[in-house]
Amino acid sequence: MIKAAAARARSNIALVKYWGKANGTLNVPAVGSISITLDALRSDTEVVFDPALETDELVLDGEPRPDGLVRVSACLDILRELAGIGTRAAVVSRNNFPTGAGLASSASGFAALVGAAARALGLELSPRELSIIARRGSGSAARSIFGGFVEMHAGNARDGLDSYAEPLLPGKEWPLHVVVAVTSTGEKAVASGSGMRHSARSSPYYAAWLQTHPGDMALCRQAIRTRDFDALAEIAEASCLKMHAAAMAAVPALIYWNGTTVECINRIRQLRMSGLPVLFTVDAGPQVKAVCTPDARAAVRDALAAMPGVVEIIETGLGPGLETHECAS
Ligand code: DP6
């Protein structure tokens, strides 16, 4: 019997970054992280378990992507085992933003995949269980199960079952905005997972990154609890720069930025010094994400849109967590 369902999940950006793995097989992160879920950056995914299929299939943004199947099938295998079936699945997923350019398409993608597949199989899993399974696809995907402000716990159980995300604060309690300055739309050179492994192996700063991370988490939680934008800016920018410093000090160096990335960072720092509540963060790619209060949004957008080298601006508020629905197949 064919079993099908669909899901929508949103991308997220980390304010305190995940960089490093404690267990590569189970994809358990070496550190916790804190993120915000973005309303406008979405993956819509349909999963059809079909007895006629001999292997799993993946179509991403209209293109067959056999290269992505290892991680997709790993997530599907966990769900198939829970459901007690072996049926292969066809996965069709679409992102409404550039794939693989450092806009966390794997976060929304794996959250939507796990949500749609679990629903298709009739599994009644809690958001926490979905988060644990989504983590196996991509660490950041564990956070996209939830909306608003989200904390990912690294956990320390050998089986990874205490490594999941959970909501910290609903987005409407502190409705920040995000302006993404896209500085390049090409796929990134080094995927985050390989970048983390390379940093852990060869960066002299990786140990310091691990050592100082719990303090960063505590400061960020506190800034969110008290809605203290200046404190949030200080800790989010520090975590971002520390992650990139660890990557840049790896041998050979991992530099995710281009010239426009640096110019945008400088511009955002200037804007904050002139009194605008805005902070920057950058992930494993050259895009700059400016997080600001709603009243600062227009000024931040205009300033970043005017930067030479910015090819596109994406604006978004904070969004909800995973949504699933039946589909006709
Ligand atoms: C820089 O979740 O993409 O965006 O678990 O290997 O799939 P894998 O890594 P991924 O890493 C995200 C890294 C980051 C920081 C963050 O989102 O916390």
Looking at CATH, the fold of the domain delimited by 3-172 is given as Ribosomal Protein S5; domain 2 (3.30.230)
Question: What is the CB neighbour count within 10 angstroms for residue 210?
Answer: 16
pLDDT tens-digit profile of 72-85?
999 999 999 999 99
**CB-side neighbour CA atoms (13 Å) of 121:** 25
Atom of ligand 1 nearest to the CA of 71: 7
- 167: Cβ contacts below 8 Å, ≥ 6 apart: 146, 147, 148, 149, 150, 151, 321
Q: Could you tell me if the CB of 151 is within 6 A of ligand 1?
A: no
Q: Could you tell me if the CB of 140 is within 6 A of ligand 1?
A: yes
Q: What size, in residues, is the chain?
A: 329
| Continuous H helices in 88-165 | 105-120, 127-137
The whole-number pLDDT of residue 188 equals 61
- Domains 3-172 and 177-317 agree in fold: no
The whole-number pLDDT of residue 146 equals 98
Instruction: Fill in the DSSP letter of residue 141.
Output: G
Q: Could you tell me if the CB of 89 is within 6 A of ligand 1?
A: no
Residue 32 has pLDDT above 80, yes or no: yes
pLDDT tens-digit profile of 95-106?
997 654 556 679
Q: Which of 13, 192, 255 to mutate to test the pocket of ligand 1 (most atoms within 8 A of CB)?
A: 192
Q: Could you tell me if the CB of 138 is within 6 A of ligand 1?
A: yes
Minimal-distance CA residue to ligand 1 atom 9: 193
How open is the CA angle 195-196-201, to the nearest 5 degrees?
Answer: 100
For 211-264, the DSSP string reads HHHHHHHHHHHHHHHTT-HHHHHHHHHHHHHHHHHHHHTSSS------HHHHHH
The whole-number pLDDT of residue 225 equals 98
Q: Could you tell me if the CB of 171 is within 6 A of ligand 1?
A: no
pLDDT tens-digit profile of 178-226?
999 999 877 666 889 999 999 999 999 999 999 999 999 999 999 999 9
The whole-number pLDDT of residue 121 equals 98
Contact 79, 121 (CB under 8 A): yes
Q: Could you tell me if the CB of 102 is within 6 A of ligand 1?
A: no
Q: Could you tell me if the CB of 139 is within 6 A of ligand 1?
A: yes
CA distances for 253 relative to 92, 212, 244, 250, 283, angstroms: 36, 22, 10, 5, 16
Lowest mean pLDDT among 10-24, 87-101, 158-172, 311-325: 87-101
The whole-number pLDDT of residue 327 equals 81
Domains in the chain: boundaries? 3-172, 177-317
Sort strands 3-16 and 89-95 into parallel, antiparallel or unpaired.
unpaired
Looking at CATH, the fold of the domain delimited by 177-317 is given as Alpha-Beta Plaits (3.30.70)
Contact 16, 213 (CB under 8 A): yes
What is the spatial order of strands in the sheet that 177-182 belongs to?
278-281, 288-292, 177-182, 312-316
18 C-alpha to ligand 1 centroid (Å): 6
Confidence of residue 329 (pLDDT cuts 50, 70, 90): low
Confidence of residue 328 (pLDDT cuts 50, 70, 90): low
- 136: Cβ contacts below 8 Å, ≥ 6 apart: 26, 27, 71, 74, 75, 78
Residue 231 has pLDDT above 80, yes or no: yes
